[in-house]
Structure 1
Amino acid sequence: MRLRPLLKLLLSLLFITSYHESGQADTKKDGQQTATGYVFYDANHNRKRDAGEQVLPCVRVSNGRDIVCTDENGQYQLPVTDDTILFVIKPQGWRTPLSKNLTPEFYYIHKPNGSPKSKYAGVKPTGPLPASVDFPLYPQKEPAQFRALFFGDPQPRNQKEIDYIAHDVLEELVGTDASFGVTLGDILFDDLSLFESQARGIALLGIPWYNVIGNHDINYDAPNDKLSDETFERAFGPAYYSFDYGQVHFLVLDDIEWIVPEKGKKGKYQGGLGKEQMEFIKNDLKQIPEDQLVVLMMHIPLVDVKDRQQLYRLIEKRPFCMSISGHTHHHEHRFITKADGWRGPKPHHHVINVTVSGSWWSGAPDERGIPHTMMADGAPNGYSIISFDGKDYNVDFRAAGRPDDYQMNIIAPEEVATDQLAKTDIYVNVFNGSEKSKVEMLIGNSGTWIPMQHKVGIDPSFKKLSETEKSIKDKKWRDLPKPKKSTHLWHAKLPEGVKPGTHLLRVRTVEMDGDKHQSGRVIRVIPAKQAQKTASTEK
C-alpha cells in the first residue's frame, strides 16, 4: 500500500517533465492554465534567459489580480485564462526592456485567439501559453531624489495636432533630466490608429514613458468594459499595473468603465475601477511598507470614481500617499476630506493635472500657427514636473512655450485715477496655487505687502478673451469652452494714497510646498482731474 503514493509522485514528476519538454503549459479541467516563468538579469540584452544568467528572487509578478514573488530560483507560478496579461512589477534599481518608442515592455499578453474584430485593431492571436514566460530586467541607478514628467490629456484628433504637441511641448523638453514620464490618459482623441505616431514624438525625450488609459483611448465599438481596452493593450500592455522607482511606489489605475446598456445601444463611460482591479490594488498595497510613498495615477479625478470609497479604505491610513489625474482640462490641488467619505487622519492630496492640449487645442493660433488653447480656469496649457525625495514630493507647473518662472497672470487695468484706487479690482491667477497658498501684492518700490484673498471664481481675463474670440466672424479656429471656476484665483483692491506715475505692481506667492514665485505688471496712476478731463473730452 505504501508503494502507491510513491508511484503517484513518480508519475507526477514524469508529467511535469513532459510538460516542460512539450513547450506548452498545463491545462486544468476548468479551462484555466498555470503560467510559470523566471525573472532574470538579461546580461547580454537578448531578452532570452540563457544558461548562466542570474535569476532574481523576491520580484513580484501579477496576472492582473494575484501577485506572487519569485522564489529563490527566480521562478513564479500564476493562474491564467484565455484573456490574461502577465506582468512583472519593476523593482527598485532595475528597469524593464523598452520598445523602440521607449515605452516599457514589462508584460506578456496571453490571448490565444486574439482580440475580437473592432474598428481599431487589438492583439493578434498569441497561440498556446509558452512553457516559460520569462521577464528580463536590467540594473540601473535610481537615487532617492529624482524628477518625473506628467502630461495630462495631449488628446490630438489628428497628425496636425500631434505636430502641435511636438512644437509646443516636446521640443523644449528634449534633454530633460526627468527619470521617466507619464501620460495621464486621453493620449489621443478617439482615433486609436495614432498611438504609434504620438509615441514616436514623445520618444524624442529619451526617457521611459508610461501610459494611463483615458476615456478617449478605448474602443467605443466594444460590447463591454473587458473588451474596451484591446487596442490600448496592443500598444502599451495592461491598463493597470504598478512599478517602483527610487523609494517611491507608483500605481497606474484604469478608472474608465465602459457600459453598454444592451446590444445595439450606444455605450457610455463612467469613472470606476471594478472588482478585479480593486483586488489587484489590495494585493499590491499589502506588500508596500506604510512608510513608503505611494503615488496613484489615473485619468478621471478620484472624487468622480464610483467605487472610490473602497479605494479610500485601502489608502487612507497610509501616511505617505498622493494621487494625480487629468480629464477635466483645468489645474487644481484637491484636498479630499470627510465631506467625501474620507476617514484618514489628514486630507488626501489629489492633483488634477494641467493638460498638454489645454482646452482641446482651441482658440486663436499664435505666430507658430498653434492655438493658444488657454484652459477654462485661466491657466495656460502645459505639464507638471514632480520632484521626489524619499517620502516627500513637490509639484511644479510648467506653461507650454513659456519660461519656467511664468507662474501667474496679474489682471489689472492699464490706467487708474487716484480717486478710483480703492475701488479698483486686482486679480491674480496663480496657476499652481491652492487654498494653502499665501499671495500678497505691493505697488511701487516700498510700502507694506497687502494680503490677497483666495477667491474661487471666473478668471476675468479668460472671460474677456473667450467673449472677444467668439465674436469674430468667419474664424478658422475652434471657440474656447465656457469659463469655469478657478480654484487658484486671488483678489484685492489697490491701496489709497498711491501717487500719480508709472508703477510696478508686484505679486509674490508662497505655495503649499514652500516654493516662492514673484511677478509684476506695469500700471499707470493718473490724477483724478486728468481722468475727469479725458472722460469729458471723449464724450
Structure 2
Amino acid sequence: MNSRRKFLKNVALTAGAVSILPLQEATAGILNSTTNESGDELKSVRVTGKVTVHGKGLAQVVVSDGYQVVQTDAAGSYSFQSAPQSQFVFISIPAGYSIEKQANGSALFFQKIQKQKQTSPHFFALEPVKESDYKHHFIVWADPQIQKEEEAEQLLSETVPDTLATVKQLNSPHVFGVGCGDLIWDQHQLSAKYNQAVQQTGIPFFQVFGNHDADLEQRSDEKSASTFTTMYGPQYYSFNRGLVHYVVLNDVFFIGKDKEYIGYITENQLAWLEQDLALVPHGSTVVVFQHIPSFTRHFERYPAEKSLGAMVSNRKHLYNLLAPYHAHLMSGHTHFNENIILNDNLYEHCHGTVCGAWWSGPICQDGTPSGYGVYEVNGAALSWYYKGIGLPKETQFRVYKKDEHPDFPGNWSVNIWNWDEHWTGVWLEDGVEKGALVRVRAKDPLSMQLHEGPKLPVKRKWVEPGLTDHMFLFCPSDQAKNITVMVTDRFGNTYTEVIT
C-alpha cells in the first residue's frame, strides 16, 4: 500500500487594563537555554522599538516575539528581553490600520530579530485605513496543494480569476485572504507559483502552516517550518480587523519519522495565546485559523479508523482559552467540507479545498466543489458561503434524480455541502410543498462516479469517495411534472433549483 493510500485509509484525510505576566515569570525556563537541537547558539537579546502613525507614537499596540506579549506605552515605545528561540518580533495589527504586503503578496507585520548585538531595534509605521473596517471580508483558500507544474498553472488560470471575480463582487475596501495550509505539496520549488497566485488576487494574504509545507528532511518539529518561516514569517500570530480578533496557529506537529505528524498545539503557542487573549475583552469575536481541524466527525462515520493526524489531540485546552469568547475555528486538511456547532460560542469550519480531491477533478471526496470560503464580517457578526470555482455564488447544492444514487434506489438525493443544523431544505411537486429533505449519511453519487474503484480517478487512483453527513433524500411521485428543491441557509438566503 503506497503512502497516499495509507494516508487515506488511516484518516480519511489526515486527516490596556489587563496586566501581562512579569518578564521573569513569562520567560521562566526559556532564557536559560543556550543551544538548540543542532548545537547552534541561541541568544536572548533586548528587543526595543516604537510603533508610529505618521511619525507619532501609537499606544497599546500588542508586540510579541512569540513568547512574550507586551503593549506599547503612551509614546508608542516597547522594550523586552526576547526568548533565545525567538526569530521574529511582530505586531498584532490593530483594527483601523492597513495590512501591509511583502513582495510575495503575503501580509507584512513582522521583522527578523538581529542577534549580533545585545539590542535589536524594530520600528513599525502604521497607516490608518481610509474607510472604517467595522465591516470587512475574508476569503479562505484551504489546501491549494500544488505538486506539479500543471496544477500550479490550474491554480493561476482557474482559482485566481474566480477569486478576483469574488473580490470584485464583494466591492469592499477591506478584504484579506488566508492560505489555510498545504499551500504546496512537499515541492518547495512551486512556492513561487503559489506566491504568484496570491499576488494576482490583489489582496493581502495571511499564511497558515500545513503538513505539506514542511521541510521533511528535518529531524524535529522545531525545524520543520524553516522554509515556511523564511517566506512568510512567524508560524503563529494575531491581528485585528474591526471588532474581530484573528489568530493563526500551527497545529501540525511532526514526530521526526517520514511524513508522520499529529494534530497538536505546542505549549509555546498555548502560553503565547493565553497572553494574547488576555488583552481581548471577554465576549469578543475571535477567529482562529489552523490547518488541521480541531475536531471532525469523520471518525463517527468511520469508527474503525484511528489517526492522530486528523484532528487536534489537545483541543480541549484551546477550547478552554476560547471559552470567554464567541469563537470560530477555520481549517482545511480533510478535503471535505464540514461545519460543526461545537457549542453556543464555538463553531468549527472545515473547508472544502481549492484543489478538490488533489487536482483529480472538479470536486472533493464528499462531492463539495473545488472552492473556498467567503466571509462577511459586520461588527462582531460573521456570515459566510462556500464558493465553488467556476460556479455561480448561488450554487449551494447538487440534485441527483431518481435512482442516480446507487445506495438509495427509488429516491432523489441532494448534496448540500455547506450545511449545518440551522439550514433547512424542502421539495415541491408542481409548486406544492411536499416535505422536508431527509438527511442521511452517505457518499456523493458524482464522487462515486469519478473516484470509486482502483482505476479511478485516472490522475490519482488512491482517491476514493467518502461518507458525508450533508446528503439528503426525498421521494416525489412519478406523476410530477416539475420538481423543485428549495434550500435555505442559516442566514435566511434561499437557493432553488427546478427540474422538469
Among 507, 512, 518, the residue aligned to 2:496: 518
Taking the aligned partners of 2:292 and 2:223, their CA distance within structure 1 comes to 19
Structure 1 position 268 matched with structure 2 position 260: yes
User: Residue type matched to 1:105 in 2?
Assistant: L
- Assess, with a 3 A threshold, how the Cα gap between structure 1 residues 167 and 266 changes in structure 2: closer, same or farther: closer
Aligned to 2:111: 108
CA distance in 2, matches of 1:145, 1:197: 31
Per-residue deviation, 1:435: 3.0
Q: Please give the alpha-carbon distance, in whole angstroms, between the structure 2 residues aligned to 1:204 and 1:145.
A: 24
**What corresponds to 1:390 in structure 2?**
379
Query: Percentage identity across aligned positions?
Result: 25
Structure 1 counterpart SS, 2:122: coil
Aligned counterparts, 1:282-431, within 5 A? 282-303=274-295, 304-318=311-325, 320-336=326-342, 346=344, 348-362=346-360, 372-413=361-402, 424-431=410-417
Give the whole-Å Cα distance in 1 for the aligned partners of 2:329 and 2:95.
Answer: 20
- Cα-to-partner distance string for 1:298-340 (whole Å, 9 max, x where unaligned): 000012112111111111232x211110000001101225xxx
Bigger Cα displacement from structure 2, 478-487 vs 131-140:
478-487
Query: What is the SS of the residue equivalent to 1:101?
Result: coil
Tell me by how many angstroms 1:82 deviates: 4.3
Partner of 1:137: 126
Distance 1:108 1:143, change over 3 A: closer
Write the letter of the residue equivalent to 1:218.
A
Cα distance between partner residues in 1 of 2:137 and 2:420 = 22
Match of 1:242 in 2: 238
Listed one character per residue, the Cα deviations across residues 441-499 of structure 1 (whole Å, up to 9, x for unaligned) are: 1132x323321111121122321333489369xx5x33372111112111111236x26
CA distance in 2, matches of 1:215, 1:29: 28
The 3 A distance-change label for structure 1 pair 145 and 449 is farther
- What is the rounded CA distance, in whole Å, between the counterparts of 2:57 and 2:485 in structure 1? 58
Alignment of 1:443 with 2:429, yes or no, is yes
- The question of whether the paired residues in 1 share the 8 Å contact of 2:45 and 2:117 is answered with no
> What is the aligned residue count?
436
Q: Is 1:76 the equivalent of 2:78?
A: yes
- Measured in 1, the distance between the counterparts of 2:213 and 2:403 equals 45
Q: Would the aligned equivalents of 2:99 and 2:204 in 1 still touch at CA under 8 Å? A: no
Aligned to 2:25: none
Partner of residue 233, structure 1: 229
Distance in 2 separating the partners of 1:267 and 1:202: 27
Q: 1:323-381: CA deviations, max 9, x gaps? A: 110000001101225xxxxxxxx36210001100000001xxxxxxxxx3411111111
Q: Is the 8 A contact 2:89 2:111 kept in 1?
A: yes
Cα deviation, 1:394-441, whole Å, max 9, x if unaligned, reads 1201110111111111011499xxxxxx97201000121123321111
For 1:460, which of 423, 445, 448 is the aligned residue? 445
Structure 1 Cα separation of the partners of residues 114 and 251 of structure 2: 23
Name stretches of at least 5 consecutive residues in structure 1 with no aligned partner. Answer: 1-26, 44-52, 113-126, 338-345, 363-371, 416-421, 523-539
SS at match of 1:57: coil
Higher relative contact order (CA 8 A, sep 6+): 2
**Distance change >3 Å, CA 62–CA 506, structure 1 → 2:** same
CA contact (8 A) 1:82 1:110 kept: no
Letter matched to residue 34 of structure 1: R
2:59 alignment counterpart: 57
The equivalent of 1:123 in structure 2 is none
Q: 1:29 to 1:323 in 2, by over 3 A?
A: closer
Quote how far apart the aligned CAs of 1:29 are. 11
How far the C-alpha of 1:106 sits from its partner, in A, is 1.0
Q: 1:267 to 1:414 in 2, by over 3 A?
A: closer
Change (3 A) 1:94 1:430: same
Choose which of 443, 457, 469 in structure 2 pairs with 1:487: 469
